Chain A
Amino acid sequence: MAEPLLQLSGVHTHIGPYHILHGVDFSIPASQLTVLLGRNGAGKTTTLRTIMGLWQASSGMIRFDGRDITKTSTPDIARAGIGYVPESMAIFTDLTVRENIVLAARSGPVEPARLDWMLGLFPALKRFWNLPAGNLSGGQKQMLAIARAIAEPRRLLLIDEPTKGLAPVMVRSMIEAFKALKASGETILLVEQNFYAASALGDNVIVMDDGRIVHSGAMREMVEDKTLQQRLLGLSLDAHQ
């Protein structure tokens, strides 16, 4: 197999006095969707923030596209081609939907074809185009946050719990949107607690606990292996559906 697009080796992260990540190792192959699972507080968000350079890894190495980005600044990591959708979504509520997207396309105006594609994935955004993003519902904010991450071509998307707090019908349309993203060849690292969504989307799965990786492999394998699910997640696919 070719070299993975993203590779973490022995990454430790401290937040102030707290030691949160204890030597995280995993790799993300290109053009696939990898799901990162783990109970609350396992360190999923911290992992994504560390990749983005929002927390500095205290040791270990993060390689992206053959380059060491462990000590790279956040703006330069973004410029290397990583799009980020934080858990809090962090849309700019004071700016309109349009302005949010204009700003996200850093290198110039959004190409019309890309814009059509984005608005095709998330048609609701069209209706709110010139309204302050603060007026959007939670689900629409989530769509905007994802649209912002794909406003220009990226090599990798880091997406933190996009289905959190969404109604089931919204979760389903979110899954459809991710399927479309996958189909267009994006590489995605998706944090997802909803195992139904995770199993529907993931090519690969990584499970974290207590700041460590406790399992990684193909998603199909995990879906088929109920004992593995029970052991790692304490839930079964049936129970959650």
Chain B
Amino acid sequence: MTEMAAGTTTSSEPLPRAKTDLLPLLIVPALALLALPFVGSGSTWVTLTVAGLAMGMMIFLMASGLTLVFGLMDIINFGHGVFISLGAYATLIILGPLAGWAQADSVWLNLGLLALCILAAMGVTGIVGAVFERIIVRPVYGSHLKQILVTMGGLIVAEQAIHAIWGASPIPIPLPETLRGAFIIGDVIMERYRVVAVGIGLIVFIGMQLLLNRTRIGLLIRAGVENPEMVEALGYRIRRLFVSVFVAGSALAGLGGVMWAFYRQTLTAGMGMEVMVLVFIVIIIGGLGSVGGCFVGSILVALVANYVGFIEPKLALISNILVMALVLIWRPQGLFPVARR
């Protein structure tokens, strides 16, 4: 980036202040505090909150790519769930030969196994994403109806391909030893894997924020989400950017798929499709195209699901829809609306 900003603001007149929109960020702590008296016990509340955050991070990983693909390319990709399932199944490439590492009495082998699974999954989903973009998405730019039909078709084909390669029955996978069990601090119980999931989610979120805000590619993506035509008129070949974002979004979904798979410890070809409803809910809540909104939306939905599931289990099923409805009544374009042409 250029350093041309230095010393150019010399005017003595007061600068107008930037409009920063923090309100949606406050909902999360407000919600958590609101839930406390209903949950009753402080330690249970911490457990539920950590569980909700972990869930939220996994949803964020699975959804973040989709919101960018939608924002930048105006593509509705119903096939996104494929990358989640595929990422999950890609762990088998590593778990096959290295299953022993999961039981090994070494933190490094355990974590190394998780890292390898993530790499394999992101590699596979990235490559399949590039192919998917080329043969399924590219012919249907500009027509939402065709996109829905064609990406749905791609989804069905890919699910069947997973069945053909890995069989139709659910496959159990082992959670590495170190990640099992819970951290117990006083009477607060936090499952280890959830804490790790929160950590990975945060790392990815911070990485994405840095990329989007501090690099030229990030500038281009943000500008492209707002007005792709103008980005082209400035001389940038936006197609290449589209493809890179699609590939990165698929790889992130693959990462989400790995985290989700170890959480359930079972693989099924439909597991990606099952979370897609949630994924669509959070990207709508967040504001289509907004990574920050997707992050807040994911946490919001997951926290509500956890609190409600504990306080009034009968309402758990409709809580997501309720959150979406309330958010959209408040902000019809989502928490962080992205400006559009």
Contacts and interface: CB of A to CB of B under 8 A. Distances in A.
Interface of A: 52, 54, 73-76, 78-79, 84, 86, 88, 90, 92-95, 98-99, 102-106, 109-110, 112, 115, 119, 126-132, 134-135, 148
A134 B4 contact: no
A156 to B, nearest CB: 13
B87 to A, nearest CB: 30
A84 B233 contact: yes
Nearest to B10: A126
A99 B11 contact: no
Interface stretch (B14-22, B150-158, B160-168): B14-22
B13 A94 contact: no
B105 interface: no
A32 B237 CA distance: 30
Interface stretch (B44-52, B196-204, B220-228, B304-312): B220-228
B314 interface: no
Of A52, A90, A148, most buried by chain B (CB within 10 Å of CB) is: A90
B232 interface: yes
Given A106-B235, A106-B236, A126-B9, A92 B230 contact: yes
Contact of A95 (B19, B219, B229, B237): B219
A88 B341 contact: yes
A131 B235 contact: no
Nearest to A151: B234
Interface residues of B, number: 35
B318 interface: no
Interface in B1-31: 1-5, 8-11, 13, 15-16, 18-19
A103 B4 contact: no
Given A84-B233, A106-B234, A126 B11 contact: yes
* Interface pairs A-B: 4 shortest CB-CB: A78-B235, A109-B2, A90-B230, A74-B232
B28 to A, nearest CB: 22
16 contacts: A76-B235, A78-B235, A92-B227, A94-B338, A94-B339, A95-B223, A102-B216, A103-B219, A103-B231, A109-B2, A109-B3, A115-B4, A129-B5, A130-B5, A131-B16, A135-B16
A131 B18 contact: yes
Contacts of A130: 5, 9
B233 A78 contact: yes
Contacts of B233: 52, 54, 74, 78, 84, 86, 90
A143 to B, nearest CB: 15
A223 to B, nearest CB: 32
